[in-house]
Amino acid sequence: MVASTLERPTLILNRNWQPVGVTTVARAVVKIWNETARIVDPADYQTYSWSDWAKFCPTDDELSIQSSHARFKVPEVITLLKYDRVPRNSVTFSRRNVFKRDRFTCQYCGCQPGSEELTIDHVHPRSFGGETSWENCVLACVDCNSRKAARTPGQAKMKLLKEPVRPKWKPFYAMQCIQVDSWSRFISESYWNVELES
């Protein structure tokens, strides 16, 4: 239970209170302990250092961290004390992020065989000048990738489930996000429908 609580997500705000990412409770606690961040109480927007936060006793229905001598409320939102840059406005192209964008699903047949049986396919083949980019790469299962070979989907008579596009940046692109109700005070609902990058 302790390990899973420490792995739960905590929303990170920059010092201007803009959402810039998500981290684990464990990493958030380290930032607070090192005084690079403060805990934000979503109920009243007050900020707290670790010593101030430790004075609050969690109720039975609140998530908590148990130490050898005390219980502490889990911080759901933190604000960084020095970081004031706004988030990047693009998602980095990477194998990992293509898997996330395509939700571990073959973009030709729709199967989800697991990451071991999925590969990245160039829609317009590299042998014909196709680029390695968001707009030209999709996930394909081994069978569909073999069937398509070095042809376009049209030549192979295979239809894409959806056209590949560059994903819109969201602060949570990299993580299977657990919805935390208190975050709605800091981010709009449009963020809930995606995964985020840390």
Report the mean per-residue pLDDT for the chain.
85
- Residue 22 sits at φ, ψ, to 5 deg, of -135, 140
Band of the pLDDT at 183, cuts 50, 70, 90?
Answer: confident
Separation between Cα atoms, residue 157 and residue 151, nearest integer Å:
10
Indicate the range of 12-26, 63-77, 90-104, 184-198 predicted with least confidence: 184-198
22-38 residue pLDDT tens: 888 999 999 999 999 99
The CATH architecture to which 95-148 belongs is: Orthogonal Bundle (1.10)
The domain limits of the chain are 2-87+170-193, 95-148
194 Cβ neighbours under 8 A, 6+ residues apart: 167, 168, 170, 172, 173, 177
When comparing pLDDT for 89 and 102, which is higher? 102
Q: DSSP secondary structure string, 1-65?
A: -HHHHHTSEEEEE-TTS-EEEEEEHHHHHHHHHTTSEEEE-TTT--EE-HHHHTTSPPPTTS-EE
Predicted pLDDT of residue 1: 45
Q: Which amino acid is at 159?
A: K
In this predicted structure, the answer to whether residue 190 has a pLDDT above a threshold of 60 is no
| pLDDT average, residue stretch 6-16 | 88
